Amino acid sequence: MKISIAQYRTILATYLKSQWRQSALLLLLLLGGTGLKLLNPVILASFIDRAMAGGALPSLIQLALLFLGIALVTQLIVVGENYLATNIGLIATNQLRADLALHCLQLDMGFHNNRTPGELIERIDGDVGHLSNFFARFIVDLVGNGILLIGVLFALARIDWRVGAALTIFALLTLLVTYGMRNIAVGHFEQTRQAHAELFGFLEERLSGTEDVRSSGATGYVMHRFYERGRALFRKDLKAHVVGTAAYGTMLVLFALGTILALGIGIYLFQAGAITIGIVYLIFRYTELLTQPIEQFGRQLQDLQQAGASLIRIQQLLATQSQLPESGEATLPATALPVTFEHVGFRYAAVEHGAAKTMNGAAISGETPTNNELVLSDISFALPAGAILGLLGRTGSGKTTLTRLLLRLYDPTQGNIYLGDTLTPAISMALLRQRIGVVSQEIQLFHASVRNNLTLFEPTIPDARILAVLKELGLWDWYSALPAGLESKLTPGGSGLSAGEAQLLAFVRVFLKDPGLVILDEASSRLDPATEQLLEKAVDRLLTGRTAIIIAHRLATVQRADNIMILEQGRCIEYGPRAQLVDNPESRFAHLLRTGLEEALA
């Protein structure tokens, strides 16, 4: 796949627009350095001619000092150029990384299920990294080297029109060859970037599952697969670089021919008495300078090919659109939210070939089917504001999927879902997820401060509110033992916390969020009886004045439910007020109570 000049121009304009002052300063430095590069050979040629003519020593010393001074200033300009170019490249690539990360976070779960976190890391960081030099120097070097090329050809033409004409033809032919080879390796570098992404995805998955890999004796298998992916990357990378350097190798041959041409013309003119030995040197030096911009074009060609491969993948990622449209115009009351499902059906999209089924870095639960069957079928119910729904069913019956639809991690395949009187697609994602609080079995804790883990990086929540909730949930003793209070860092993944403490921290998040709808997805399944007792009163206060959906296996957990729904193979087989179902000995719920929820729903 080829990439057009317009695509390069668009991304440069987007990410360099805010840095036009730095880019202009970089261009000025480059122009100044170019002028000095053209001046120094003239000084050295004059030195040679004066020395050959037996010139006075003071005048030779002056020329030598002038030459050294200009060389020193040129090097200082190079340092300034490199500093500015690096700064421009880092700012542009970091902004592009931020845009890609935000874009991926806004895509639906169907997209993320088909890609491992490691692959996305490589797409966001690795691909963008190959654009750093493109952002930093491409346009500036293109302009600067173009000016240097024109300046050298003009200076050669002033020496002798024959020299200027011959080397102008040489430069044009070399540039035409360079331009013709600009896309020769883009496809190969694109394959290399994909191989990198696949290797990183493989590593991320296996390293995150180190405990299971080692305990099951699968280390040898994992290493074998690692070597296979490493070899595939090596072959593709080697091929890309071999093809990519073809243009550079071609130019080396052309440069040698150009040097021979310049020396041949210089010798001819010197023997004819048309020029001095100093001018012969000047022609030779200018020919060397002539090869520099052409060589830079060649290097830029290689950078451009790698940048083009990365840019293709970046644009493909940015072109990926979420399958969950939203109008974002509707509002929600700051009170308990009623929930309505109308004939809702849902099936997961088919997973792309070779993609891993993952959710938040872990395998999707048994509710995700291996085929394209409906996992929820014709689900209808109306949960009034402030009511509590107890959701029961065996593993894989569709309980968690139902709550994912409420959060709009997916949209239903059939039917409609309402919060209040509003269809969920008419509510912005930000508002929807602000008004719905979730506590699940798996708690994601970040390598960040306790404050940021509890507020999820929301800076407007006051410390006094956080401390009050910690006391309310019985976490004060835990908090008092922290070395730096709310600024204490939690280790990656929350290691060092008990399952109960991690679960309670998740409840703190929901308390601070103050949602209108609360979803507890097996929220107490990891708690020991003592810790669960600490939670019971807090849960009662949390659910007061809020609508709630509780997924549970324990009998005690559904005692507070107003309504009960039992799912089986994605269908609602029973729904009604809990008290009526308890009093009806023929109901499925009454049978579960007699049998025991833990045993019957295992």
- Distance separating alpha carbons of residues 291 and 171, to the nearest angstrom: 8
Q: What is the pLDDT of residues 409-438, one digit of tens each?
A: 888 999 999 998 889 888 888 888 889 998
For 1-54, what is each residue's pLDDT tens digit? 566 777 777 888 888 888 888 888 888 888 888 888 888 888 888 888 888 877
* 46 three-class SS: helix
**Would 453 be classed as within a structural domain?**
yes
Distance in angstroms (rounded) separating the CA atoms of residues 45 and 276: 9
d(CA 326, CA 339) in angstroms, rounded, equals 18
In a shared domain, residues 130 and 206: yes
Residue 374 within any structural domain of the chain: no
Does residue 84 form part of some domain? yes
Q: Provide the pLDDT for residue 462.
A: 92
Last residue of a domain, one of 302, 319, 336: 319
Question: DSSP secondary structure string, 115-167?
Answer: S-HHHHHIIIIIHHHTTHHHHHHHHHHHHHHHHHHHHHHHHHHHH-HHHHHHH
Long-range contacts of 570-576 (CB under 8 A, 24+ apart): 570/374, 570/375, 570/376, 570/377, 570/397, 570/398, 570/401, 571/377, 571/378, 571/379, 572/378, 572/379, 572/380, 572/381, 575/381
Let me know: does 171 contact 254? Beta carbons within 8 Å. no
Domain count, the chain: 2
Distance in angstroms (rounded) separating the CA atoms of residues 555 and 160: 99
Same domain, 49 and 173: yes
pLDDT in tens, 217-253: 778 888 888 888 888 888 888 888 777 677 667 767 7
Residue 561 forms part of a structural domain:
yes
290 in the same domain as 391:
no
> 439 and 310 share a domain?
no
CATH number of domain containing 401: 3.40.50.300
Domain boundary, last residue among 319, 339, 367: 319
With contact defined as beta carbons under 8 Å apart, do 474 and 504 qualify?
yes
DSSP state, residue 545: T
Q: Residue 127: what pLDDT? A: 82
Domain, as residue range, for 294 = 7-319
Cβ(561)–Cβ(389) under 8 Å?
Answer: yes
Helix (H) or strand (E) holding 470: helix 463-472
Q: How far is CA 492 from CA 151, 208, 362, 412, 557, in A?
A: 58, 12, 16, 34, 30
Picking from 122-126, 287-291, 301-305, 458-462, which range would have the lowest pLDDT averaged per residue? 301-305
Identify the H or E element spanning 416: strand 414-419
User: Are both 268 and 395 inside the same structural domain?
Assistant: no
**pLDDT the model gives residue 386:** 92
Q: Which one of 32-41, 404-413, 531-540 scores highest in mean pLDDT?
A: 404-413
- Exposed, middle or buried by CB within 10 Å (0-12, 13-18, 19+), for 12? middle
88 inside domain: yes
- pLDDT for the residue 11: 82
Q: Considering the domain boundaries, does residue 376 fall inside one?
A: no
Beta partners for residue 414, in sequence order: 345
Residue pair 357/115 in contact (Cβ under 8 Å)? The answer is no
For residue 366, the model assigns a pLDDT of 41
pLDDT class for 360, splitting at 50, 70, 90?
very low
pTM of the model: 0.67
| CA–CA gap between residue 271 and residue 173 (Å, rounded) | 28
User: Per this entry, what is the length of the chain?
Assistant: 602
Name the range with the highest mean pLDDT among 134-148, 503-517, 526-540. Answer: 503-517
Alpha carbon 168 to chain centroid, angstroms: 45
CB 246 within 8 A of CB 14: no
pLDDT, one tens digit per residue, over 99-158 is 999 988 888 887 888 887 777 888 888 888 878 777 776 766 777 778 888 888 888 888
Residue 201 located in a structural domain: yes
pLDDT of residue 602 exceeding 60, the answer is no
Q: Check whether residue 446 and residue 309 sit in a common domain.
A: no
The answer to whether residues 313 and 171 belong to one domain is yes
- The CATH number of the domain where 162 resides is what? 1.20.1560.10
Among 303, 319, 335, give the residue marking a domain's end: 319
Phi, psi values for residue 433, rounded to 5°: -80, -15
Quick check: is 361 in a domain?
no
Residues 267 and 388 placed together within one structural domain of the fold: no
Are residues 301 and 387 both part of a single domain? no
Q: What are the tokens at 242?
A: 């071999």
Higher pLDDT, 474 or 547: 547
Q: Are residues 182 and 261 in the same domain?
A: yes
Largest CA distance in the chain: 122
Same domain, 152 and 30: yes
289 and 394 assigned to the same domain: no
CA 410 to chain centre: 22
CB 523 within 8 Å of CB 441: yes
Report whether pLDDT(356) > 60: no
Number of DSSP helices (H) and strands (E) in the chain, helices first: 22, 12
